[in-house]
Amino acid sequence: MSISGYFSPDFDPAELAQFYQERGYFVIEDAFDPAEAAAIRDDATAICRGQHGPVKGAPSIAPDASDAEVLSQMLCIHFPHKISPLMRDALAHPPLVRGLTSAIGPNVKCMQSMLFIKSSGKPGQAWHQDEDYIPTRDRSLLGAWISIDHATQENGCLWVIPGSHRPGILWDQHWHGDRRFDCAEESRGFPWTDDDAVPVEVRPGSVVFFNGYTLHRSLPNRAPAGTYRRALVNHYMSCESFCPWQPPAPDFKAGMAKHDYRDVVIVAGRDPYAHHGYTSLAEPLLRPDGRTGCVNWTDGKVKEYHDAAHS
Ligand SMILES: O=C(O)CCC(=O)C(=O)O
């Protein structure tokens, strides 16, 4: 069995599934070839420029703005697959789907994509578990983090705590007040320390898969100006689980256990809830990055982060 969790695209599914069950993550190296990764990278810039249509919350972009100017104004665009045919195809890229079916089971659906554009100096994301945000009924949530640059410790690669998915506990989240990270809250109170974490450095085109209960974070991009750490992250779950996500109305409470979000793409197998129908609800939107409008940075809760790279 792979000790490091890095598998080639011709991996043995049983070996990969065993690693995933024990450690809560794995990597498929070169799941996208260099040309495919470069095409996603170019398309990411086109999305940021608004060339595929509007992105809610995004600033207006002057046609003569340089790529660097454009990319520096973005941190994370949610649902790029809604406007980009290439990002839509990437949801079901065959080597990626093999990884998903080995880890989740034969029937897999996708409910979300996110495009992270981490320019030099941009913050990371504090420790968290993705099932805090996207619940499943069978703990099947899995993030597929498609690297479109070389992700290194210097430019803010992903870090995971191996095995942290196994207790099946969602740890309490708190506002961190730490400028290394964006506005999302930090999970605390778990029995691991930063020393238990491993960096997941990957080449462009490689994919990091991690369970929805696996604690993970990323640090700021401290590489020189002009160095990006971009990733397309898609989230999947088993088709057998309802997707009790995105309540249909702000005051919707009754029936959450039966709620089944239907803006999903079936990427493998069959959907036992196909009779619930499918719909299009999500729109592409820009997430504020903590330097450009997060309320947490303006209400006195900020702990300054002293770091030469950020002073
Ligand atoms: O790419 C990053 O910096 C963080 C990604 C992440 O935490 C996630 O997709 O859940």
Question: In this predicted model, what pLDDT tens digit does every residue of 220-230 receive, in sequence order?
Answer: 999 999 999 99
pLDDT tens-place string over residues 34-56? 999 999 999 999 999 999 999 99
* CA–CA distance, 268 with 101 (Å, rounded to integer): 7
Q: Would residue 202 be called left, alpha or beta, if left means φ above 0 and alpha means ψ between -120 and 50 degrees?
A: beta
Q: To which H or E segment does residue 79 belong?
A: none
* CA–CA distance, 203 with 3 (Å, rounded to integer): 19
* CA–CA distance, 148 with 230 (Å, rounded to integer): 6
- In the chain, what are the domains? 6-60+71-247+265-310 (2.60.120.620)
CA of 236 to the centre of ligand 1 (A): 14
Give the whole-number percent of the chain exceeding pLDDT 70.
92
User: DSSP letter at 227?
Assistant: -
Per-residue pLDDT band at 304 (split at 50, 70, 90): very low
Residue closest via CA to ligand 1's atom 3 equals 218
Atom of ligand 1 nearest to the CA of 130: 10
Instruction: Answer with the residue of higher pLDDT: 201 or 300.
Output: 201
Q: Average the pLDDT over 150-176 and give the result.
A: 97
CA of 125 to the centre of ligand 1 (A): 6
Q: Average the pLDDT over 179-207 and give the result.
A: 95
Nearest C-alpha neighbor of 115 from the set 55, 185, 155, 32: 55
Model confidence, pTM: 0.93
CA of 105 to the centre of ligand 1 (A): 23
CA of 100 to the centre of ligand 1 (A): 18
Residue closest via CA to ligand 1's atom 2 equals 218
* CA–CA distance, 122 with 278 (Å, rounded to integer): 36
Q: pLDDT value at position 201?
A: 98
User: DSSP letter at 250?
Assistant: T
Q: Average the pLDDT over 237-260 and give the result.
A: 90
Q: Average the pLDDT over 22-27 and give the result.
A: 98
Beta bridge partners of 159: 199, 217
- Angle value at C-alpha 189, between 294 and 133, nearest 5 degrees: 45
Rg (CA), the chain: 19
Atom of ligand 1 nearest to the CA of 145: 9
Instruction: List ligand 1's pocket residues with C-beta within 6 A.
Output: 116, 124-125, 130, 143, 158, 216, 218, 231, 233
CA of 59 to the centre of ligand 1 (A): 22
* CA–CA distance, 294 with 123 (Å, rounded to integer): 13
**Measured in Å, how far apart are the chain's first and last C-alpha atoms?**
45
Are 209 and 144 in contact, with CB atoms under 8 Å apart? yes
